[in-house]
Structure 1
């Protein structure tokens, strides 16, 4: 199974891997909506063990509280998806894994009619040396949940590669 179907994602992943290897930096990932896909992408890089420290997939607000210290009340009020939650996840994953960089993403890959969630979107954040470098609101392309999750994962890899090259 080919995970990366497009050249921009492959190229961006290569740039990220090269940067972290060359500069001896470490990165970790906090995911929700992508269910580990960003971690999978980073783990496929040659010598990934030299820069990729790991990650956490936390879907529920209870786990976002336990893993990242996100207020349960604030989390449930937004169904676990907000700019602040994404930024907190990026910062906290760096702290948990003692890394220079942290990627995070939280969002919706399918509607949740019972909670009034019809619009699909995600927030992705990148933290480097304790500072949020970017937070982006992503609107997915895709026809089904898996395609949307793959699109989100590709987007966060591409955004992160562009950001890291500007540091």
Structure 2
């Protein structure tokens, strides 16, 4: 049996609006939590983005009192800028089309150094299927804490995901992972 939104008195556009509203509410809760945590610990963060093209930076700027913990970020979209600004290895960047775990980790470590931050997040990947990605959508992201990579992961999406949805999903997922890492650090300090 195929269920259509209209069978429940809701058309597809209304369903999309409702989904967006729930997404925004959950994102606001996540951002509030992260902001409060960073304020309470006095720790700072910086961000280096490629595939999310500023969504993470925007998210941190929306947090209450962001200027007290959010040092800044950059969007390094091209190979040249990743190499010049974030000291990514040029040969590795060429070999992997700037998309690998090693590149995400290097971006994260170097943006933390550039901004002198306790924490950093970096992400690189594909928001649209390309020949280089073999028609797939995925990203690599890394989170560092005080000069050490504490999380480095690959995130796969369905190849038909719209690019803006892919960017939003990557951003929300990474922020959720960051919250988990903040909680782990809090538990370690408490014990």
TM-score (norm 2): 0.81
> Please, which of 8, 14, 22 is the counterpart of residue 40 of structure 2?
22
Q: Which residue of 2 aligns with 1:138?
A: 155
Aligned residues: 165
**Change over 3 Å in CA distance of 1:3–1:81 after alignment to 2:** farther
Bigger shift: residues 9-18 or 64-73: 9-18
> Please, which of 44, 61, 70 is the counterpart of residue 52 of structure 1?
70
Q: Which residue of 2 aligns with 1:34?
A: 52
Q: Offset of 1:5 from its aligned partner?
A: 1.9
Q: Which residue of 2 aligns with 1:86?
A: 104
In structure 2, stretches of 5+ residues that fail to align are: 1-19, 186-191
Q: Offset of 1:12 from its aligned partner?
A: 2.4
1:16-48 CA distance string (max 9 Å, x none): 111110011110000000000000001001100
> Please, which of 88, 104, 120 is the counterpart of residue 70 of structure 1?
88
Could you say what the CA RMSD is over the residues aligned between the two structures, in angstroms? 1.8
Matches of 1:148 and 1:3, distance apart in 2? 17
Bigger shift: residues 141-150 or 127-136: 141-150
Q: Which residue of 2 aligns with 1:120?
A: 137
Matches of 1:150 and 1:116, distance apart in 2? 19
Is 1:13–1:158's contact at 8 Å kept on the other side of the alignment? no
Give the structure with the higher percent helix: 2
In structure 1, stretches of 5+ residues that fail to align are: none
Which protein shows a greater Rg?
2
Matches of 2:46 and 2:21, distance apart in 1? 20
> Please, which of 156, 161, 177 is the counterpart of residue 159 of structure 1?
177
